[in-house]
Structure 1
Amino acid sequence: MTQKYISDKEKRLSSCDESTLITDFETGEIFCSNCGHVLSERAEYSGPEWSSFSHDKINDTGTGSRTSLAKHDQGLSTIINTADKDVSGRPLSTTMKKTLKQLRILDRQSQIRTSGDRNFIQAFGKLHGLKDKLALSNIIMEKAAYIYRKAVEKKLVQGRTISAMIAASLYAACRDTKTPRTLKDIAQASNIRRKEIAVCYRLIFQELELKMPVIDSIQCIARISSRLEITEKTKRHAVKVLKQAQEHKETAGKDPMGLAAAALYLSCAKNGEYKTQRQIASAANVTEVTVRNRVKSFKLDQNLKL
């Protein structure tokens, strides 16, 4: 995580006048260090461009993209420039233009030699589309690309759709980095059935022997409350309820988003904020039945101080 001072534009979005923002580049969230309000779920890289080094000085002009696992060639292949000009800026002759056009075609064809290359081009194209829809960071993209490459190496993609496998790899990357993106979020963004992604995820989990950390439902509170503009006092009470539930093993085997939604609903009722179960369920991307059942289980537990 890194800290930065709040700007005039961001100050208008935050409820605090004097504060600093904390940027978590792993989850892609920007939040206030004082009240915990999430200003954005998508953090942009604000550092210098990828630079070249010459004469012991940094050249800040762009020199191409970094190597990345989320590219079919990992960003290592060369590209013939499309500008038909020589080093002096003068236009090339007609014969030379035709020659360069043929060389570009051959260069492009040489980069896609096998079916695996075509597979990666299609898969990583879909992955970048999901990144924009779900506002994910580059770290999660690299992790998802790594998992997908391992799945291709193990021949797990054969007989299954590329879209479902890349969506399952992305969900596995979100689970591994503790990024609050549910299976339903990814299913809606990818326009694929949730059940199909779940089957592919279980296959990847078992065959690659992944060790996934348990998602903490407390991390989901900030995301839900930011969508509903819930006060900090209510959020803190919801966190307190979830911590008590975790101590008494009430959260074991239950959906983290559903638990966070139920805790926020109870906290809103206690602090006089009018939020219906439908509103909270919609913000958490779960059903009203899930919220109702979690609320009922919390109320039945006499150890919880609601």
Structure 2
Amino acid sequence: MASREIYDTGFDESSGRTIAADTCPECSGRLETECGEIACQDCGVVVESCRLDRRRPRLFADDETSKARTGAPLTEARHDRGLSTEIGYKRDANGNTLSSKKQRQLGRLRREHGRARWRSKAERNLATGLVEIGRLSGDLELAQSLREQASSLFRTAQDNDLLVGRSIESIAAASVYATCRLNGTTRTLAEVAAVASVNVDRVENGYRTLNAELELPVPPQSPVAFLPSLAAEFELPARVEQRAREFAVRAHDEGLSSGTHPAGFAAACLAVAASSMADPPSQLALADAADVSTATIRNHRDRLTAFLAADE
């Protein structure tokens, strides 16, 4: 499209904006505004459209307006969504050192602020759970967006009284695991329980409670999703991982992997794909990496081998 030129302007009541004249700069056709977009009715060229301006406020050198922003955005990862007050220690907002008298006064204010921080026991439990979710997300190297979703899920569980009779740590770990399942992030139940403050049985019980009571739209896990992490752990060649992926896809299409442990079946696919190597990983090592028994690896391997032989 040709570069925009400046034309006579007028006010458009439908969009509440000042726009160019009602003739198209390309074909002199008629311009009309629809859904905040100004376009020519003849040639279809878009002259101007309404967009959200997310830039900083425009400031000039002689403008005395404060350049400070309005603060950090709201977050679900904190019990007050990031609106709490933080009291400093030795320096003020300008970086100047405070006097000893002022520091003692701030210390007393900090103590009273900490005592009045929680409006109820439920809010204190919420803060405890969100801190636990933040710790688990850091240990599992999850993205900030997943932490936000897990925190929101924990809030929903508390609002539905799912914490009654259950520990905060188990529901927090279950929220992290459920968020990973909902977003297709490959974190097994054992991996979450390994960094959690409770054992795997309590994490599994919390996840089942969330899944049943909140009716989470959790998709079934595919063995293909676990292949990259397992192959990287044993430093297998790319051709072995590719062959294992082909086996897993074919088995999944035929329903062979239905009802199986996805990580265990992925480990069995790697075992079959790496069988031609000079030094393939042992069944015990694959079982430990997938958190299953060696019998599971052996049974899946035998079924997969028979399926591939019959399919050929």
TM-score range, shorter chain: 0.7 to 0.9
Q: 2:272, 2:305 within 8 Å by CA — same for their partners in 1?
A: no
Query: 1:76 is matched with which residue?
Result: 83
Whole-Å separation in 1 of the counterparts to 2:267 and 2:197: 24
1:91 to partner: Cα distance: 3.2
Query: 1:10 is matched with which residue?
Result: none
Aligned AA (1:253): G
Q: 1:261, 1:291 within 8 Å by CA — same for their partners in 2?
A: yes
Aligned AA (2:171): M
Aligned AA (1:123): G
1:294 to partner: Cα distance: 1.0
1:261 to partner: Cα distance: 0.2
Query: 2:263 is matched with which residue?
Result: 257
SS at match of 1:149: helix
Counterpart among 240, 247, 256 of residue 241 in structure 1:
247
1:282 aligns with 2:303: no
Q: 1:241, 1:304 within 8 Å by CA — same for their partners in 2?
A: no
Whole-Å separation in 1 of the counterparts to 2:67 and 2:226: 39
Q: 1:265, 1:275 within 8 Å by CA — same for their partners in 2?
A: yes
SS at match of 1:111: coil
Q: 1:86, 1:92 within 8 Å by CA — same for their partners in 2?
A: no
Q: 1:172, 1:201 within 8 Å by CA — same for their partners in 2?
A: yes
Q: 1:180, 1:219 within 8 Å by CA — same for their partners in 2?
A: yes
Q: 1:79, 1:107 within 8 Å by CA — same for their partners in 2?
A: no
Whole-Å separation in 1 of the counterparts to 2:94 and 2:136: 40
1:177 to partner: Cα distance: 0.7
State the Cα deviation string for residues 79-104 of structure 1 (Å, max 9, x = none). 1222354858253362x444333332
The runs of 5 or more residues in structure 2 that have no matched partner are 1-54, 61-65
Summarize the alignment of residues 1-306 of structure 1 with structure 2, pairs less than 5 Å apart: 53=56, 55-56=58-59, 65-85=72-92, 87=94, 89=96, 91-92=98-99, 94=101, 96-301=102-307
Q: 2:169, 2:197 within 8 Å by CA — same for their partners in 1?
A: no
1:175 to partner: Cα distance: 0.3
Change (3 A) 1:60 1:222: farther
SS at match of 2:285: helix
Change (3 A) 1:194 1:86: closer
Q: 1:84, 1:92 within 8 Å by CA — same for their partners in 2?
A: no
Whole-Å separation in 1 of the counterparts to 2:163 and 2:82: 23
1:302 to partner: Cα distance: 5.5
- Using structure 1 for the length normalisation, give the TM-score: 0.74
Q: 2:178, 2:207 within 8 Å by CA — same for their partners in 1?
A: yes
State the Cα deviation string for residues 122-178 of structure 1 (Å, max 9, x = none). 212222221232222112211111111100000000111111111111110010011
Q: 2:77, 2:151 within 8 Å by CA — same for their partners in 1?
A: yes
In percent, how many aligned pairs have the same letter?
26
Change (3 A) 1:86 1:229: closer
1:280 to partner: Cα distance: 1.6
The runs of 5 or more residues in structure 1 that have no matched partner are 1-51
State the Cα deviation string for residues 182-234 of structure 1 (Å, max 9, x = none). 11111122142222221211111111111111112111100000010000000
Aligned AA (1:286): V
Worse overlay, 104-113 or 238-247:
104-113
Q: 2:75, 2:81 within 8 Å by CA — same for their partners in 1?
A: yes
Q: 2:257, 2:265 within 8 Å by CA — same for their partners in 1?
A: yes
1:278 to partner: Cα distance: 1.3
Q: 2:150, 2:176 within 8 Å by CA — same for their partners in 1?
A: yes
In our comparison, the structure showing a higher alpha carbon Rg is 2
Whole-Å separation in 2 of the counterparts to 1:136 and 1:208: 23
Change (3 A) 1:229 1:199: same
Whole-Å separation in 2 of the counterparts to 1:71 and 1:204: 21
